[in-house]
Amino acid sequence: MMEPLRLIHKWRRALWQIPAIIMVAGALALSSNNLRKESLPLVGDWSAVESLTTVSGDRLDISIEDASRLFRDRAVVFIDARSAADYERGHIQGALNLPWQDVDSLFLQATAGLLPGTPIITYCDGETCSLSHDLAVFLRDMGFENVRVLVNGWTVWQDADLPVDSLAEGAST
Amino acid sequence: MKPVGGIEKKQSWIWKGGFFLASRMFLGGIFIYASLDKIFKPGLFAEAVYNYQILPDILINLTALVLPWLELVLGLMLVAGVWLPGAVMLSILLLLIFSGSLIFNMVRGININCGCFSTEPSTDPITWWTVMRDSTFLIPAFYLLFANRTEKTAGE
């Protein structure tokens, strides 16, 4: 064994080496991040994600890629959380309408054909729109096990040129 | 010094040297391997860090950017034998933080992805096995901390 004094002497060097190693890593991290095409902002906005994480750590949100794949496979039911008027102007093809403000009166009617295990995706419009999130949490509480949120759904769905329905006259589909 | 004692001492010196080298290579290799996927996918790793629900939002991206590079630099230093006291102590500190975070979330019942070696969600959910695996890496790390070989390597 090394004598305790020599060991302590060796460990003393860690006092300057540790901060130096951290600084080297930090410099490499920041410069490589700057060179990257899609650099990560040093301080991210996690508030939107926060509302989409359940207490048990599950994520509620679903990507547009996954949502459109499920749509193509007809493996999911979309529920529009916006008002009936917005829904009539245009919605994701085949989506049901369950306006969050009328959820108590319309819940049973809107979900009549759905089984507890039916995959459901709720959506509304706008990055900060919370209707779809509120509706998703409500549906989970009501016993639907497989509910996800397509954040800013109506906009991203249209941006991706995916099929829509419209009940209003003269509106394009 | 008696000649017989000298030979025994030399043999034990070689043995210890072998262990020392093996521990350095093993620990360094683990850190390098763990860093690569995260360095290439900082966005995904940031999500993994976020999901741990330990750090304040303001520190998440910074941690996701710097931590993988720290692992890479530490790994390379362990393998090359540079700045060993600092690299070994920092490794121990990191491993303790990793294991602590895993245990914390296991106890809280938060069901997340480890993000330890891969940023791909669902590849590596945290379990007591993950906790054990990460704590096992502390064994070579503590061996390196107390071993009597530091001066014989490069860079010192």
3-state secondary structure chain B: CCHHHHHHHHHHHHHHHHHHHHHHHHHHHHHHHHHHHHHHCHHHHHHHHHHCCCCCHHHHHHHHHHHHHHHHHHHHHHHHCCCHHHHHHHHHHHHHHHHHHHHHHHHHCCCCECCCCCCCCCCCECCHHHHHHHHHCHHHHHHHHHCCCHHHCCCC
Tens of pLDDT, residues B12-62: 777 778 889 999 999 999 999 999 999 999 988 998 898 888 999 899 999
CB-CB under 8 Å, A17 with B87: yes
- SS3 percent helix, strand, coil of chain A, rounded to 5, is 45, 10, 40
Confidence of residue B122 (pLDDT cuts 50, 70, 90): low
Confidence of residue B154 (pLDDT cuts 50, 70, 90): very low
Pairing of β A164-165 and β A91-92? antiparallel
Specify the pLDDT at position A101: 84
CB count, 10 Å around CB of B119? 24
Nearest CA in chain B to A54: B110
> Which of B46, B58, B85 shows the shortest C-beta gap to A11?
B85
Specify the pLDDT at position A63: 86
Tens of pLDDT, residues B66-78: 999 999 999 999 9
What's the N-to-C CA distance of chain B in angstroms? Answer: 29
Specify the pLDDT at position A168: 64
Specify the pLDDT at position A170: 47
Specify the pLDDT at position B155: 41
Specify the pLDDT at position A28: 97
Which residues of chain A neighbour B66 with C-beta distances below 8 Å? 22, 25-26, 29-30
3-state secondary structure A35-100: HCCCCCCCCCCCHHHHCCECCCCCECECCHHHHHHHHHCCCCEEEECCCHHHHHHCEECCCEECCH
Interface check for B111 against chain A (CB to CB < 8 A): the answer is: yes
Specify the pLDDT at position A81: 92
Nearest CA in chain B to A14: B86
pTM of the model: 0.67
Find residue A80's DSSP bridge partners. A97, A123
List chain A pLDDT tens, one digit each, 173 residues.
556 788 888 889 999 999 999 999 999 999 999 998 888 889 887 876 666 776 666 778 888 989 999 999 999 999 999 989 889 999 999 999 999 888 888 998 888 889 988 999 999 987 767 788 889 988 988 889 889 999 889 999 999 999 999 876 544 44
CB-CB under 8 Å, B85 with A43: no
Specify the pLDDT at position A4: 79
